[in-house]
Amino acid sequence: MKLQGTVWLAVGLWWGLGELPVGLAAARPNVVIFLADDAGWGDYSVSGNQQVRTPHIDSLAQEGVSLERFYVCPVCSPTRAEFLTGRYHPRTGVSGVSTGHERLNLDEATLAEAFRAAGYATGAFGKWHNGSQWPYHPLARGFQEFFGYTSGHWGEYFDPPLEHHGEFVRERGYIVDICTDRALAFIDRHRDQPFLCYIPFTTPHSPWAVPDEYWRRFRDRPITQRATVPDQERLDETRCVLAMLENQDDNVGRVLRKLEEHGRGDNTLVLYFSDNGPNTWRWNGGLKGRKGTTDEGGVRSVCFLRWRAGLPRGRRVPHLAGAIDLLPTLTSLAGISRVGDKPLDGRDLTPLLRGDPVDWPERLLFSSWNRNVSVCSQTHRLDHQGRLYDLRHDPGQTTPVNAAQPELAARMQAAARAWRREMFGAEDAESTSPRPKAATGSRSVDPRPFPVGYREFPRTWLPARDGEPLGGVRRSASAPNSSYFVNWTSLDDAVVWEIDVHTTGRYAAELYYTCPVADAGSTIELSFGDSRLRGQVQPGWDPPLYTNQDTLPRPLAESPMKEFRPLQLGTMVLKKGRGPLTVRAVEIPGREVMHLRALSLTLLPDE
């Protein structure tokens, strides 16, 4: 089967075969990194999608280098970990997308740390998704400025509350536009020095929300290119995704214009890619699978690098590449040293990007999620069930070739077992079964404690996402990101965060809650070790759910949101050490205690 919608011959002529401008000796480039959230390989007009216009993203391919066989992870936070470290995500501590499993181990060095050590100004504007509490926070991982959100899913796209250096501010507008505004301001401030500007977009991740001007373009538009599994496609969701992509493309254009405005267009290295495959069934060039799978459709992404002063125009690189290659490649192109000495899994792609003569060894790339492991070579993919496909003739993975190529199948199966053993241990080496998911109500939060109490970042946010509900307490929806605790009706109920207090001291405790007026007045107790703090849930505050957020009904797994208010409990002394931080009710005069969005602990100055 040929890749559907492939217009590579025409695209190649369109791009042209431009060469690196003669006489341009590149100084250290600025770096702008765009990362889409849940966009598939087929979501761009440059990939052959005739239903969407992405001219600014496409221009990066026209004016730069396109990695045609570029692979990421099946889901968000693992890709971010691999991009930031140059290492496969199981090595980095990232094993999930929520409840602490998304955190990047503290002994891992990041791309941002390397650029900051080299004198670059560093900023991140958007979705972080590799840890919320200091020192997992982006400001502790090499970024000097952060604006956005640290979780994997955000429930408010219009007029959202977003974090700036540890404090939340309510903004006005659409989340992608707002974060891009902050990135533009960062570029303005640092236009006269080298900078690394990281813009991890929120879209097209759900909820399905996009400004009206974009939705009107697609609301009644026929969908003519259909998903690989067409009966699974929800056409309105496809329309919303495409509208989100056009908004995202416009924001890419805003940044590119800003670079030109400051005369930095030629000597800025611009990178664009996505963090996993499409989050819905929609057209993806006939590739098998979607987000969450280790097949081609789940892990193949576009990847464009434009640097007019340092890379050729319109070059297409057919070699296998992945997110693990970005750290060694970007540091090499910028002429800076990496930070840290852990062995890298990625390669420096510089000679491929520039078209230099090079003896490029064959390689395998591994994809994993939920203990499913898939292996890709330059020509073949071995899926997580051991079926071998020849991607040269069957990119849609329709016909296994194990019988025709048994030796290759055996070699790739052995490689998958060896990689699984190296990443997950001998116990998993022979397993082909997915990792069992935690049952509802089980203690599924990452056992690594959540750090609290650093002088350099005194406020620690402990969202419901990172807590463990006990008794009858439940999350507001099955996806922990952007959830809150509900159904708190009994004295036997509680919420627990496993924390590690770094500094003994006095802490101000604050809850973010809602509570019907008739139920206000419950007495609650916050405890850690032998320290106790009591307070009352009052006044009542019972706002309606927001009605301004969704273009289409949001997925059932995602919580509808409302306005939570702070409740100051008072101050308590926390002693250095690890243990459970527990909130429970000691008196409940009404039907329920409250809905709880988050707990904040702020280390106070010494008296």
The string of pLDDT tens digits covering residues 384-406 is: 999 999 999 999 999 999 999 99
Architecture of the domain made up of 450-603: Sandwich (2.60)
The string of pLDDT tens digits covering residues 275-287 is: 999 999 999 999 9
Task: Give the integer Cα–Cα distance in Å for 366 and 373.
Answer: 7
Task: Give the integer Cα–Cα distance in Å for 485 and 464.
Answer: 6
Task: Give the integer Cα–Cα distance in Å for 151 and 37.
Answer: 13
> What was the pLDDT predicted at 607?
81
> What was the pLDDT predicted at 440?
34
CB 293 within 8 A of CB 357: no
The string of pLDDT tens digits covering residues 94-112 is: 999 999 999 999 999 999 9
- Other beta carbons within 10 angstroms of residue 604's beta carbon come to 11
Strand, helix or coil for residue 374: strand
> What was the pLDDT predicted at 429?
60
Q: Helices (DSSP H) in 355-436: which residue ranges?
A: 406-424, 426-429
Q: What is the mean pLDDT of residues 114-137?
A: 98
Q: Which of 516, 510, 511 is nearest to 543 (CA)?
A: 516
Strand, helix or coil for residue 499: strand
Q: Is 278 left (phi over 0), alpha (psi -120 to 50) or beta?
A: beta
Band of pLDDT at residue 17, cut at 50, 70 and 90? very low
Cα three-residue angle 441-444-447, rounded to 5 degrees: 140
Domain boundaries, the chain: 28-357, 371-429, 450-603
Residue 309 φ then ψ, to 5°: -85, -5
Evaluate if residue 18 carries a pLDDT over 80: no
Element spanning 236, H or E: helix 235-261
If you ran DSSP here, which 8-state letter would residue 199 be given? E
Calculate what percentage of the chain has a pLDDT beyond 90. Answer: 92
> What was the pLDDT predicted at 467?
98
Cα three-residue angle 439-442-445, rounded to 5 degrees: 110
Token reading at 233: 């496609």
Beta bridge partners of 587: 523
Residues 6 or more apart whose Cβ sits within 8 Å of residue 266: 24, 308, 309
157 or 428, greater pLDDT: 157
What rounded mean pLDDT belongs to the chain?
94
Token reading at 63: 């004016």
The string of pLDDT tens digits covering residues 25-69 is: 358 999 999 999 999 999 999 999 999 999 999 999 999 999 999
Residues 6 or more apart whose Cβ sits within 8 Å of residue 570: 508, 509, 533, 535
Residues identified as active-site: 76, 129
Q: Which superfamily does 28-357 belong to?
A: Alkaline Phosphatase, subunit A (3.40.720.10)
